[in-house]
Each structure stands twice: as C-alpha cells, then as structure tokens.
Chains A and B, each alone.
Chain A
Amino acid sequence: MSTDETKVRPLHPEGAPRNPGFAGITGEFDLTEAQIRGTEYVGRRPVDGGHASVAGTLPYQIADRNPDAPLFEGPYAERLEKILTRYPDRQAALLPALHMAQEIRGYLSPQSMDEVAARLELPPAYVRGVATFYTMYNLQPLGKYLIQVCTNISCNLCGADAVLDAFLEHTGNDMGEVSSDGRFTVIEAECLGACGFPTVVQINERFFENVGTQDVPSILEMLK
C-alpha cells in the first residue's frame, strides 16, 4: 500500500499503512483487511435462497455468471417458489425474480426478461419497463468487477470526478464499457450511503472508502 501523505487526508497518522476503506488505518488494532473482510468480492449465499424470509433479499452478484445458464431450474426454482410465497401476487415478485436472473446470468438480456415474464405470467413489455426503471439491473454484460464510483454530493465535493476519471484511465475503459480483458466495468453511481468517507467506491459487493486518485492503481492491482 502507498504510504504517501496527501492533502486530502491530513488526519492520517504519519507512516500508517494507507488502506482505503479499512478502519485499521486508525491504528486501533492489528488485524489486516483480509482477516476482517476476507478476500472475496462477492458474498457467499445459498443458491436455494436459504430461509424463505430472506430468499428475495439476497445480494445480486456472484462470481460465476453464465449468460446461457438456465434461469429457474434446480435450487433456483426452489428459491423462486420461496420468493413467491412472500408476495401477494406474481407481479409483486418481479423485482426479486429479475435480481435472480441477473445473479445467474450477470445481466438482463431481452431473452432473460422474456423468460422472467413467461415464468411470472406477466406481459413482457411490463417486465421490460420495470427492468429499465431500476438502475441496479444491468442491461448490458459486465466485466468481472463492477466498479461503481459515487459522484453524489459529498463524494463530489471531495474529488469523486477525479477518482472516476482515474478508474477510467487505469482500466482504459469508457464509462459503462467492459474492458478489453473482460475484467472491469466502471460506472458512476448515485449516493452509496457512506457520505462520511468520501470518495466511496463499490466494487462488486465490497465498499472502498476514502478513495483518492492515488489509490486507484493499488486497488486495481488487488483485483486479480
């Protein structure tokens, strides 16, 4: 990790290891980031959704995404059944069903929307309307790592635009595009809810806080 001090973070103790997004930099304890957060960038979760009460609320990204995988088969069929028990009608289960499709395939293709519509017996045009309304549904294939840079007000005041540009520059990407090696997609995000630690970057399911432009290469280095 870089040990440079910058104007952006004058409160950092001299010589402390700079690890963006990790409270250990305050020097209060000796654990490493990996020991606390693990090294995965996606959470682990039961494919069948676990208990019915949480089956519809699981995070939506997994490491292995296959755009051709079947949608509602095996444990996923079981999970959808659990989800359906939690809602008054099929229409209400549309959001978690789309999340599931995205978890399996990585993004929502027209084909996926059509399959979800057929499974829930909803009009495909309606499903498309819902899928395009919410920004957390990806309508294009993504890189292995989805880098979401918050550019809302707190982060913006603390230089989020420069961080975003740095990510784009270091991945050699255009916004929203998949990098040529298939690893990165960089997008701008609205408030990620960590305004006390600007700039916030969410990579897949992990938060990086207090990110400055100088941290970008090392973060990308960590993402193998």
Chain B
Amino acid sequence: MAEEATPTELITCTIDGMVLQVPKGTRIIDAAAQLGIDILHYCYHAALSAPAQCRMCLVEVEKAPKLMPACVTTVMDGNVIHTQSEKSLKSREGTLEFYLVNHPLDCPVCDQSGECKLQDYVAVEGRAMGRLAEPKRIIGRDDFGGDVLYEGDRCIMCTRCVRFMREVAQDERLGVVARGHRMAIDTFFEEGMEGNIWADNVVDICPVGALVSKDFLHKARSWDLDRTPSICPNCTQGCNVTLQVRDDEVMRLKPRPNEEVNSYWMCDYGRLNYSWINRGGRIEAPLVREGERLVPTSWSDALVRLSELAKGAAGGVSAVVSPFMSNEDLGAARRVIAALGGGEGVFRVERGEEIVLPGFPQLALREDRAANVHGAELLGFTRAGDDKGKGGLQNAAVHGGVVFVMGDELADAPADFGTGASLFIYVGHVLSPAARNAHFVLPATTFAEMEGSFTNVHHRVQRFWPALHVPAMARPAWQILGVLLAGVRGVDAPATPADAFSLLGELRAEYGELRFSDLGAQGRPLPRLGALAETMGD
C-alpha cells in the first residue's frame, strides 16, 4: 500500500509452506493473494480502510502469541504463516458459528444467495450442524431510499457500506446504530440515501444479502446469470462492467474492477439505465424500399442492390450517427461516407451534470451520456442538437444527396425526414417513423450483442464482448458497412472485429498504434491523446 521514498526493502516470509518475497509493509492478506491463497474476510476491502473487526482473516503466525488479523498485520521478515493450521481453522469455524447465531437461513429467498460470502465460507469451513437453541434476533428491513434495501437480519456488521459512504462517496449517510446484538446499519432516521448516485455500490460490496438492490429484488438467481465483461454505455467514463444476463435479457450491471477507470465502483445512473438494451421491437431483417413498401429481403440481395445504387450516388452525404455505436462501427461509417462522395457527419447526445466520486476523482458520471462520444469525435463526427439529444437534424432532413443514418433512432425527426434524398440508408435497431422513409433499412446490433470497443473520456480504448443473442438477421454495423464497401470499392471486407479495428488506423493514426488483441479486458489509452486528455483535466 504505502509508497515509500526509500527503495523498497524486500523481506522473505513463508505462507503455508511457500516462500515468498514481498516489499516491506505488505499485509499478510495481500501477500497470501500473490500466492493464490484466499484468506477469508468480510470487513476487508481493497479500496477501503481495514478495521479488522470481522475476525475472519485471523491466521497463525509462528511465534506470535495470538492469531493475527491478516488484513492489517504486515509481514515481518522471516514470518512463518499458517492459514490452514488447526488453530486458524478452529478460529474461523467458531467465528462463523457466531455469525450464524443471528443470521437467518433464508438463502432460498435471498438475492445474494450464490454469491454470498457467508454462504461460501460456511460451506467450506463452517460447522456441519448449528448448536444454537435460542431464537434469532429480528431487526427487519428498512428501505434506504434510492435503489438500496436493507435487510437487517442478514447483516453481519462488517461496516463496509459505512466505510464506503465515509471514505469513497464522502457523504456519510450510513452509520452503525445501537450496539450488541441490536446493532444495525441505518441512515439518519428518515434521511435515506436518495440523491447520492453512488449509493448502489454498497450493494456490491455487501458480502451478504443485507444490502440488496430494489431493482434486482427477486428478479434472478445469481447462478442463473451469464456474466459478460463489457463497458457501461451510459456515459463517456466507460466504467468496466459485467453484463449479467438471464434468458437473453440483461438483469443488472455490476462494476468490474479497473484501477485506471472506475476502481471497484460505478454510478447508479449507469447501473440502472439498462432497460433499453433489452428493448424489443427490433428490426429483424434487411428491408428494401419497393414503391411505398419496405420489403424484407436477404442480406446478399439488400447489399448487392445497395452497392449498385451507391456507386452512382451523387450530391454528397449527410450522416447522422449514434455515440452508442462502437469505434469499429463509426470507423466503417466514416469510410462509407468517403466512398459515397464525402460529407458531414453529426451525432446527438444527451447531456447532464457531471458528478464526481470524491474518493476516486478519476471516476465521474460524465456530462455526455453515451459511451463513445470521444470515439465519434476522433473519427470526424461533430456534435449537433441540444442537451436532450434532440434537434440538429435540419441539414440531414432536407439533404438532396445521400442520407446515411447509423444507430440514431430519429425519434424526434420530422415526418418527411430524408424524403428528398437520392439515397437514404438507415442502419439501426428500431424502425421509427422517420426511418421508414429510408430506401434501405439494415438491422444492426447493439454493443451488448457484438464484440467491439469504445473510446472513453480519457481516450482509453476498451473492449466489450457479446452478452445477448443477435435478434434474427441483425449484424454488427461494421460488418454490414464493410461488405457494402467491398461492393462499392472492391476492397476486402473485415471479417473480425480485430480487422475492423485495425482499419481505424487509416482514419486516425493513434488507433493504428494499438492492436485489438492487446486491449485486453482493461483497455489501453490511445497514444498521445490519452495523456493529453489527462493533462487537460477533461
């Protein structure tokens, strides 16, 4: 933890028979983690202070008179530490038995079940049978406001939530009330947690089911969820998340640790704003205009006819794209625009107030409420419209040449949007009234159904992976547009997202210096730009 000015002194210790060298000042729990030993703990959290009050991480250190809490004890030179000795196993078994004195065994109706630390630890190291004959104490449940519900009976008083609100959110709304077995977590009477957009993080860090999300309440069982690493699409921060999916429906978003972007946290706005990903009524087949009607057809038919028409396109392009589309999509759109005679491209984005997380100021709910605004700007698209993500369509609406729309729903577009265009191509998700004016409607996938990357506010390029099935014939926009370009220009179409990503270097050299496969699950900053954005404090 501590970064000392003096060169770090390495010390040697032995943990469970394995010899390890660690810098002086390393805590036992962190040293053990380096060896792949998971020391059980509740109150300790890497991003919070350690009060050493849960007594789960007690380990035996030779020559120490008592068991030592691994979360605060630093390793000393020559320490011989046993995490699985009889003494420490016995201690943990006893501690767990005390936790179960008052913890209800309501796992079948508890949302935490399946990802509950108490459940896990008792299964591994707890007693087979409880010996308690007394009734358990009842505290009941308390609605903390916002998305947080407190189930007091399940609480094991690790105080992670209290410390999160004090140290990270720096809005100390939670406290420990009363003492002894009546102890509970509560806010100041009716104050609640309403209005703090970081409140839901206490649900994530709660090791048991004491703090649960009202949005997720009784919605799915943890073991039924498929977890896909992804990027939160709801602002330019690009928090690393997992999309948790059941039955092809996103059930919830959970933050995924990334020290460079969001640490362990994310905001409630991003977390709870996912229902649009599950939206039905998607376009399921390519549609081609025949007279007044849009007729479904095959991809090859649609794209062959479109590329024939596109070859003769004149009058330049007026494009509207969506900042929810991936870098690869936007790059492909930029190339299509160039191939069809060039022209301007705009995007529209909803804006709001920026709210910084005080304890981790690199993280904020950003003003631009779409993931890839910076990607769109780097790839030559300009901002249009107002702060509600409306308007700004006046040029495209009456453009006489090619109108190209990708991703934008055109919800507020005039009814005659694009009717004057010589060619109107709509690549998108839902068929709004204005999109029905298109000559070609091509169904694209959302970020949750495809592989790709976003560029965040600090120009960090981060990958996401497909979590949902693609609706019918929809395809990633980069693939659709790649094939279209192949038809128009006779170039090879990109076959993989990595191919599509490597083509970005032609539009913006910085992208060319990154390799898709190097981005990994934590992303990489764009060379030069990434550093620039940091110094500008943007």
A-side residues, CB < 8 A to B, are: 110, 113-114, 117, 123-129, 132-133
Measured between beta carbons, the chain A residues less than 8 angstroms from B186 are 125, 128
Tell yes or no: B188 within 8 A of A by CB: yes
> Known interface pairs A123-B172, A125-B172, A125-B173. Does A110 touch B178 (Cβ–Cβ under 8 Å)?
no
Q: Which residue of A lies closest to B180 (CB)?
A: A133
Tell yes or no: B396 within 8 A of A by CB: no
Measured between beta carbons, the chain B residues less than 8 angstroms from A126 are 172, 175
Q: Which of B56-76 touch A at CB < 8 Å?
A: none
Tell yes or no: B115 within 8 A of A by CB: no
Interface centre among B166, B173, B178, B188 (most CB of A within 10 A): B188
> Known interface pairs A123-B172, A123-B173, A128-B186. Does A133 touch B178 (Cβ–Cβ under 8 Å)?
yes
Interface centre among A110, A114, A129 (most CB of B within 10 A): A129
Q: Which residue of A lies closest to B182 (CB)?
A: A132
Contact assessment for B179 and A125 in the assembled complex, using a CB-CB cutoff below 8 Å: no
- 12 more contacts with CB within 8 A, not counting A123-B175, A127-B188, are A110-B188, A113-B188, A123-B173, A124-B191, A125-B172, A125-B186, A126-B175, A128-B175, A128-B177, A128-B186, A132-B178, A132-B179
Q: Considering the chains assembled together, what is the distance between the CA atoms of A132 and B180 in angstroms? A: 11
Main secondary structure of the interface of B (DSSP, over half): loop
Q: Considering the chains assembled together, what is the distance between the CA atoms of A128 and B370 in angstroms? A: 40
Measured between beta carbons, the chain A residues less than 8 angstroms from B326 are none
Contact assessment for A125 and B174 in the assembled complex, using a CB-CB cutoff below 8 Å: yes
Q: Considering the chains assembled together, what is the distance between the CA atoms of A125 and B171 in angstroms? A: 10
Contact assessment for A129 and B173 in the assembled complex, using a CB-CB cutoff below 8 Å: no
Contact assessment for B177 and A129 in the assembled complex, using a CB-CB cutoff below 8 Å: yes
Q: Considering the chains assembled together, what is the distance between the CA atoms of A113 and B188 in angstroms? A: 9
Q: Considering the chains assembled together, what is the distance between the CA atoms of A123 and B187 in angstroms? A: 10
Q: Which of B190-216 touch A at CB < 8 Å?
A: 191
Contact assessment for A133 and B174 in the assembled complex, using a CB-CB cutoff below 8 Å: no
Measured between beta carbons, the chain A residues less than 8 angstroms from B179 are 132-133
Measured between beta carbons, the chain A residues less than 8 angstroms from B191 are 124-125
Tell yes or no: B276 within 8 A of A by CB: no
Tell yes or no: B531 within 8 A of A by CB: no
Q: Which residue of B lies closest to A123 (CB)?
A: B172
Tell yes or no: B223 within 8 A of A by CB: no
Contact assessment for B189 and A129 in the assembled complex, using a CB-CB cutoff below 8 Å: no
Contact assessment for A125 and B188 in the assembled complex, using a CB-CB cutoff below 8 Å: yes
Measured between beta carbons, the chain A residues less than 8 angstroms from B177 are 128-129, 132
Contact assessment for B188 and A124 in the assembled complex, using a CB-CB cutoff below 8 Å: yes
Q: Considering the chains assembled together, what is the distance between the CA atoms of A133 and B166 in angstroms? A: 19
Contact assessment for A125 and B187 in the assembled complex, using a CB-CB cutoff below 8 Å: yes
Tell yes or no: B176 within 8 A of A by CB: yes
Measured between beta carbons, the chain A residues less than 8 angstroms from B189 are 110, 128
Q: Considering the chains assembled together, what is the distance between the CA atoms of A123 and B173 in angstroms? A: 7
Measured between beta carbons, the chain B residues less than 8 angstroms from A124 are 188, 191
Measured between beta carbons, the chain B residues less than 8 angstroms from A113 are 188
Q: List 27 A-B contacts (CB under 8 A).
A: A110-B188, A110-B189, A114-B188, A117-B188, A123-B166, A123-B172, A123-B173, A123-B188, A125-B172, A125-B174, A125-B175, A125-B186, A125-B191, A126-B172, A126-B175, A127-B188, A128-B175, A128-B177, A128-B186, A128-B188, A129-B176, A129-B177, A132-B178, A132-B179, A133-B176, A133-B178, A133-B179
Question: A89 to chain B: closest CB distance in Å?
Answer: 15
Q: Which residue of B lies closest to A135 (CB)?
A: B179
Q: Which residue of B lies closest to A134 (CB)?
A: B179
Measured between beta carbons, the chain B residues less than 8 angstroms from A133 are 176, 178-179
Q: Considering the chains assembled together, what is the distance between the CA atoms of A127 and B188 in angstroms? A: 9
Measured between beta carbons, the chain A residues less than 8 angstroms from B187 are 125
Q: Which of B299-318 touch A at CB < 8 Å?
A: none
Q: Which residue of B lies closest to A126 (CB)?
A: B175
Q: Which residue of A lies closest to B187 (CB)?
A: A125
Q: Which residue of B lies closest to A111 (CB)?
A: B189
Measured between beta carbons, the chain B residues less than 8 angstroms from A125 are 172-175, 186-188, 191
Question: B337 to chain A: closest CB distance in Å?
Answer: 54
Question: B193 to chain A: closest CB distance in Å?
Answer: 10
Interface centre among A110, A114, A125 (most CB of B within 10 A): A125
Measured between beta carbons, the chain B residues less than 8 angstroms from A127 are 188
Q: Which of B466-503 touch A at CB < 8 Å?
A: none
Question: B178 to chain A: closest CB distance in Å?
Answer: 5
Measured between beta carbons, the chain B residues less than 8 angstroms from A114 are 188
Measured between beta carbons, the chain A residues less than 8 angstroms from B174 are 125
Q: Considering the chains assembled together, what is the distance between the CA atoms of A114 and B187 in angstroms? A: 12
Sort A-B residue pairs by CB-CB distance and give the 3 closest, nearest first. Answer: A123-B172, A129-B175, A125-B175
Question: A206 to chain B: closest CB distance in Å?
Answer: 28
Indicate with 1 or 0, residue by residue over B448-467, a CB within 8 angstroms of chain A CB atoms: 00000000000000000000
Q: Which residue of A lies closest to B173 (CB)?
A: A125
Indicate with 1 or 0, residue by residue over B505-517, a CB within 8 angstroms of chain A CB atoms: 0000000000000
Question: A42 to chain B: closest CB distance in Å?
Answer: 27
Q: Considering the chains assembled together, what is the distance between the CA atoms of A123 and B177 in angstroms? A: 13
Q: Which residue of A lies closest to B190 (CB)?
A: A110
Q: Considering the chains assembled together, what is the distance between the CA atoms of A5 and B166 in angstroms? A: 61
Measured between beta carbons, the chain A residues less than 8 angstroms from B188 are 110, 113-114, 117, 123-125, 127-128
Question: A152 to chain B: closest CB distance in Å?
Answer: 16
Measured between beta carbons, the chain A residues less than 8 angstroms from B173 are 123, 125
